[in-house]
């Protein structure tokens, strides 16, 4: 029997491992069924403040999960709320409507407004939430987390529980499925009476297959500056170059990815892009680092160009007295040499945060350079 197992490639040890794997899968499936039974015992009453594209996207998902959704929005989205199957629709511009909204004994209130209007919206809800009993769990879905955390701690009553979240997807990327898409969360302040509601709310995203990522708000913003803001920055920059980027008959896979990047980032509102810059303190460093990197690359190209021209003219690279200094040594080069090269000017010295500065490392200082308008003429 052992010989046959060996011939079939199934060693007894491997069979034992497969048995254990099957048993663990069975146990996991039973746990998931038990969890589903507990969650089904009580659906959440969820209030959504702000009913733009993302608010509607969330509402449809919550209603699909048989949760009751009420809407509070400044714009007239009554028709969209009715079409989605929302329980009620009220106006954020009406004080009586705000009181009615918070008086619905909501389990969770999701703040789905824009970054730039977030703090003003909290102020509008402040008085109504103070008289709300029991106090609902307040959560946000902003793309910046330190700003959201500070604003909610400042403007919400102490009785309110606070959960900061960021679904790292939207109506486009999450249109078909949420499976394996990251969902970031930070339990900022969860009172005992809100623990169950908090876990039930998070389970909505767990059940849809999201990859749950628990991070502090600061950690999120450091990572987001080097990922989400950088993505939007490059997409917006390419979209505004005036190159009329469009499909061609000879597109590479890389260029197709570039076109998709430009399309998805430019489809989002400029308010979102500005919010990522204005309300994430780490984004400015990312912008300056990118500016320096672009200057670095252009400097290297011009340097090689000058060397090639000198060699073509019969000279040697050692005689290229006008060779530009490398960016590593450019801080030590004198201003006269910069003027002779006619290419670079010192535009700003600014602190930059290293990519891995998550745990409080000291920022470094980097000198940023930019090209003048006559770069091409100077290099020739």
Nearest to 111 by CA among 78, 84, 148, 79: 148
Give the per-residue pLDDT at 372.
Answer: 36
Tell me if 134 sits within 8 A of 164, measured CB to CB. no
Q: For 155-188, what is each residue's pLDDT tens digit? A: 999 999 999 999 999 998 899 999 999 999 999 9
Give the per-residue pLDDT at 114.
Answer: 93
- With a cut of 70, list the residues of the chain below it in pLDDT: 1-11, 315-380
Give the per-residue pLDDT at 355.
Answer: 44
How far does CA 279 lie from the centroid of its chain? 12
Return d(Cα 156, Cα 164) in angstroms, integer. 13
Return d(Cα 24, Cα 356) in angstroms, integer. 37
Place of tokens 């940023």: 368
Give the per-residue pLDDT at 223.
Answer: 92
How far does CA 139 lie from the centroid of its chain? 16
Tell me if 71 sits within 8 A of 58, measured CB to CB. no
Q: What angle do CA 128, 131, 137 make, to 5 degrees?
A: 80
Give the per-residue pLDDT at 306.
Answer: 92
């Amino acid at each position: 029997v052992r010989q046959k197992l060996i011939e079939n490639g199934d060693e007894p040890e491997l069979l034992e491992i497969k048995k254990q794997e099957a048993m663990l899968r069975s146990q996991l499936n039973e746990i998931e069924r038990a969890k589903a039974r507990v969650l089904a015992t009580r659906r959440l009453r969820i209030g959504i403040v702000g009913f733009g594209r993302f608010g509607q996207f969330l509402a449809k998902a919550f209603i699909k999960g048989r949760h009751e959704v009420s809407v509070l929005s400044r714009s007239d989205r009554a028709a969209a709320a009715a079409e989605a199957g929302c329980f009620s629709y009220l106006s954020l511009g009406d004080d009586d409507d705000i009181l009615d909204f918070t008086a619905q004994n909501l389990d969770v209130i999701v703040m789905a407004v824009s970054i730039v209007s977030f703090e003003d919206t909290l102020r509008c809800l402040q008085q109504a939430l103070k008289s709300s009993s029991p106090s609902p769990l307040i959560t946000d879905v902003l793309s910046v987390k330190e700003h959201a955390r500070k604003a909610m701690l400042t403007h919400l009553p102490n009785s309110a529980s606070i959960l900061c979240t960021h679904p790292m997807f939207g109506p486009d990327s999450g249109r078909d499925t949420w499976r394996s898409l990251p969902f970031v969360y930070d339990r900022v302040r969860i009172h005992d009476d809100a623990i169950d509601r908090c876990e039930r709310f998070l389970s909505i995203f767990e059940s849809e297959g999201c990859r749950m990522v628990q991070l502090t708000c600061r950690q999120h913003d450091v990572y987001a500056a080097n990922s989400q803001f950088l993505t939007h920055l490059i997409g917006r920059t390419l979209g505004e170059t005036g190159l009329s980027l469009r499909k061609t008959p000879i597109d590479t896979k890389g260029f197709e990815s570039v076109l998709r990047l430009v399309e998805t980032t430019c489809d989002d509102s400029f308010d979102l892009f500005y919010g990522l810059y204005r309300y994430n303190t780490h984004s400015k460093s990312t912008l300056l680092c990118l500016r320096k990197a672009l200057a670095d690359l252009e400097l290297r190209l011009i340097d090689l160009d000058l060397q090639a021209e000198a060699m073509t003219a019969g000279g040697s690279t050692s005689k290229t007295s006008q060779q530009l200094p490398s960016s590593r040594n450019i801080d030590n080069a004198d201003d006269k040499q910069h003027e002779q090269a006619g290419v670079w000017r010192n535009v700003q010295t600014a602190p930059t945060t290293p990519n891995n500065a998550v745990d409080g490392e000291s920022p470094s200082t980097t000198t940023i350079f930019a090209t003048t308008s006559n770069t091409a003429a100077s290099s020739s």
